[in-house]
Chains A and B, each alone.
Chain A
Amino acid sequence: MRATPRSTFAAGLFAVAAATGPAAAGPAQQAILDHYAAEAKAAGAPSAFSAARGEAFFRAKHGVSAESPSCSACHTADPRNPGRTRAGKPIEPMAVSAVPTRFTDLAEVEKWFRRNCNTVLGRACTPAEKGDFVAFMASR
């Protein structure tokens, strides 16, 4: 029998954890990662996520928005630090080690992926991009 998305993901995260340090993902983040792994798998994309790919995606300048060129423009270069919106309001750190309630409510996570991917990339993020992003934040 084939591996379930959950065990596929767990294997991926362990590989990630070994490379980047202890992972902080709790059951709630795990459930979100499982959700994206299942979506990625259904779309025929790799469902083992990579924190390293997530980090590259987080830092990349996507060349769509002059005010918001990258995710790190608001969430700062080190996601363990607080970020800031364009209107100057502080944003709690994105790293799960700094804010354990990050990535625990799927509706909230999906709302912000929808908005911020559209603002920064001018399109929706793929399930794999979302999974890599969460894996990166869970590794920090």
Chain B
Amino acid sequence: MKPYAFPLVAIALAGCAVLAAQTTAVPQSAGGTAREAPASPPAGSADPATAAAPPVTGGEAFAAECGTCHLPYLPAFLPARSWEAITSDLAHHFGEDASLDAATTRAITDYLVANAADASRRSRRFLRGIDAGETPLRITGTPWWQSAHREVSARHFASDKVKTPSNCAACHRAAVSGSFDDDD
């Protein structure tokens, strides 16, 4: 039996359980009323480089800076090494320059790594089917994502409303992003 051919319902539940568990630990998006964000960067706070940065948490910086071109993706959807690879080359980000100053990049990386798929037992299922030596750069390229969307036709993803599989919000509202509104 193929490792990720388990029922879609299980994936859906798994995804949603993680999403629900993450809601309280995730900051508001930029400009929203700040909620206490317990998941601030653990490693960065003692570091002089981040001490000099503007007084925003890594989670706030992530929601603001990684949420302008697409919704901020849920950190639990990729392993820590993927987030490190993505944030280490933001000047060449899927064909665009998404570069940030060093202190902000560092704070965001710390936040993503602390909340990545391999940071919690609950989200480890998103790692299924990814080789230890492999560093996926796309959520949409991971086996669990492709398995969850097997029934969604390619036509849907290419439609003008959706444009690309990366546009999670076109089909899911805020529930698959790292940024939640109070009334969601």
**Please, what's the 1-or-0 string for B86-103, where 1 marks a CB less than 8 Å from any CB in chain A?**
000001001111111000
Look across to chain A and name the residue whose beta carbon is closest to the beta carbon of B90.
Answer: A115
- With a cutoff of 8 Å between Cβ atoms, the chain B residues found around residue A86 in the complex are 69, 94-96, 163-164
Shortest distance from the beta carbon of B166 to any chain A beta carbon, whole Å: 5
CB proximity of B182 to chain A, nearest CB, Å: 21
Number of interface residues of B (CB under 8 A): 20
| Known A85-B69, A87-B70: A115·B167 in contact at CB below 8 Å | no
Report how far A119 CA is from B100 CA in the complex, Å: 14
A118 to B99, CA, bound (A): 10
Contact A114/B69 with A87-B164, A87-B166, A87-B167 known, Cβ cut-off 8 Å: no
Interface residues of B in 45-71 (CB under 8 A from A): 68-71
A125 vs chain B, min Cβ distance (A): 12
A126 interface residue, CB < 8 Å from B?
Answer: no
Least Cβ distance of A61 to chain B in Å? 16
Cα–Cα, bound, A95→B123 (Å): 43
Q: Is A2 interfacial (CB-CB < 8 Å)?
A: no
Tell whether A67 pairs with B97 under 8 Å between CB atoms, given A88-B163, A89-B71: no
Q: In whole Å, how far is B49's beta carbon from the nearest beta carbon of chain A?
A: 19
- The interface residues of chain A lying within 8 Å CB-to-CB of B163 are 84, 86-88
Q: A115-B96, A119-B96, A119-B97 are in contact. Are A88 and B164 (CB under 8 A)?
A: yes
Tell yes or no: A65 within 8 A of B by CB.
yes
Which residues from B are CB-within-8-Å of A89?
A: 68-71, 167, 169
Q: Does A68 contact B (CB under 8 A)?
A: yes
Do A67 and B95 form a contact, CB below 8 Å, given A88-B163, A88-B164, A89-B169?
yes
A-B contact pairs, 9 of them (CB 8 A): A67-B96, A68-B95, A87-B167, A88-B163, A88-B170, A89-B167, A111-B100, A115-B96, A118-B97
